Amino acid sequence: MRISGGRARGIPLAVPRGDAVRPATDGMRQGVFSSLAAVVPGAHFLDLFAGSGAYGLDALSRGAAGGVFVEKNAKAAACVRQNIVAVCKSLGREAADLTVVQADALTVPLGGGPVPDLVFIDPPYEIISEIAPVLFARLAEALAPKPEALVVFEMPGELQLAPPGWACLKRLGQGARQPTVVFFRASRASP
């Protein structure tokens, strides 16, 4: 698994052994960032259920200003820290504007820093239906000062989410049991 594009393209990413995480594929991340191209430079991100940190680090490689990685699993959080060091070294930049929080994405405080422009969510597929209402309610509050913020949510193709107060802007990928990514924005924001 590697950074899929930008200035750190090709940098390998550490992934914890076992089934603690299900990393987003390189191809899926390339598709996501092709869709986000104009939004990423200078953006702040929040990477929930970060796993290896691939989504946030791909954003960093493409010019994001910084962000927060939230990962509950200790081994995965250690991999995110290791990956930050590798990517920052490749980019010739400090990691001061990157934070790893080892916590549950459903309860971690979402304020305190810059309001993110991009929120990446890549949870275990089997819990999505249960956690989505809580996540979207929390994000509606956290992103209220920045209604143009985008939520990039990876989920299996057979799952449909229609969170109240959110508009689905785009879906990448298709097919049952295949990974897809859905782009959401608060529906009060203009597209």
The whole-number pLDDT of residue 22 equals 67
Domains identified in the chain and CATH numbers: 26-186 (3.40.50.150)
pTM, to two decimals: 0.93
* pLDDT for residue 177 is more than 70: yes
The Cα 183–Cα 53 span in angstroms is 19
Which whole number is the average pLDDT over 46-66? 95
- Give 161's contacts (C-beta < 8 A, 6+ positions apart): 128, 132, 153, 155, 168, 182, 184
CA distances from 1 to 22, 32, 83, 131 (A): 11, 16, 11, 27
* pLDDT for residue 190 is more than 60: no
Distance of CA 171 to the CA centre of its chain: 15
Q: Which helix (H) or strand (E) holds 34?
A: helix 26-36
93 exposure class (CB count in 10 Å sphere: 0-12, 13-18, 19+) = middle
Which whole number is the average pLDDT over 1-30? 81
The better pLDDT of the pair 165, 17 is held by 165
Digit-coded pLDDT (tens) for 80-118:
999 999 999 999 999 999 999 999 999 998 877 889 999
**Angle between helices 74-91 and 54-61 in degrees, nearest 10:** 10
Q: How confident is the model at residue 21 (pLDDT cuts 50, 70, 90)?
A: low
The Cα 102–Cα 81 span in angstroms is 11
Mean pLDDT estimate for the chain: 90
Report yes or no: 61 and 87 within 8 Å, Cβ to Cβ: yes
Report yes or no: 173 and 28 within 8 Å, Cβ to Cβ: yes
The Cα 110–Cα 67 span in angstroms is 12
Digit-coded pLDDT (tens) for 126-172:
999 999 999 999 999 999 999 999 999 999 989 999 999 999 999 99
The better pLDDT of the pair 189, 85 is held by 85
